[in-house]
Amino acid sequence: MLSLDEIERALVITAHPDDVDFGAAGTIANLTDCGATVTYCIVTDGQAGGFDDSIPRRKMASIRREEQTKAASKVGVSDLVFLGWMDGEVESGLELRHDLSRVIREYRPQIVLTQSPALNFHRIYASHPDHIAVAQSAIAAVYPDARNPYAFTDLITDGLEPWAVDEIWVMGHPEPDEFVEITPQIERKISALLCHESQHRDPSGMMDRVREWNAETAQVAGFGEDSFAEAFTVVDTR
């Protein structure tokens, strides 16, 4: 696993606004503090989320883009790519693999952080169908698509040469094997999550749950009491 200070460029690929903030905002804050450039690629606009029936779905999409942009700024990220797919309708396949390969070739990251293609029955929120579809396509885009000069040859025509990502960091996998301590970053993570105002009926309860989850992860990792951590399954693709 690459150390945080070895990473100069990272790309986050998630299905919805707020997914990265639940899964990896503390780690992202660590990366940007170390000088890495981090880009968010959000596949849908999250227009199927929220609790206010008076807000048109098209308006919800713009609200969620604004919320994610504000949340990203809390952890040092200013570069966001919104692909505009429909929330709740994402299917893994060549079209999405093509879109993600384009982004990978454009930004040329050392690592891609994405969601888990595996069902996690211990934390079912991580296993939204959109998450699984995006994860499957993101992993396929990393290997083999983005590095293969004979895949999606139109990208080369557009000046986007093949690029090989070194590692995939998978969030929300039922069997994590690497842990990142985020104790100094937990309040920045909470601050990022609170930017998603349209998604929280009970912000106080959300904050308590996130602290509890990340404290439990720190205990599993052996970081000790009063610590917080995020968990990943890391895939070396070199």
Tell me how far apart the terminal alpha carbons of the chain are, to the nearest angstrom. 11
Three-state secondary structure call for residue 43:
strand
Tell me what the pLDDT averaged over the chain comes to: 95
User: Is the pTM of the predicted complex or chain greater than 0.85?
Assistant: yes
| Residues 133-164: tens digit of each pLDDT | 999 999 999 999 999 999 999 999 999 999 99
Burial class (CB in 10 A: 0-12, 13-18, 19+), 218: buried
Superfamily of domain 4-236: LmbE-like (3.40.50.10320)
Q: Are 92 and 137 in contact (CB under 8 A)?
A: yes
Q: What percent of the chain has pLDDT over 70?
A: 100
Tell me the longest C-alpha to C-alpha distance in the chain: 54
What confidence score (pLDDT) does residue 121 get?
83
Give the C-alpha separation, 174 to 131, whole Å: 14
| Residues 77-91: tens digit of each pLDDT | 999 999 999 999 999
| Residues 195-213: tens digit of each pLDDT | 999 999 899 999 999 999 9
Residue 50 falls in which region: left (phi positive, over 0), alpha (psi -120 to 50) or beta: left
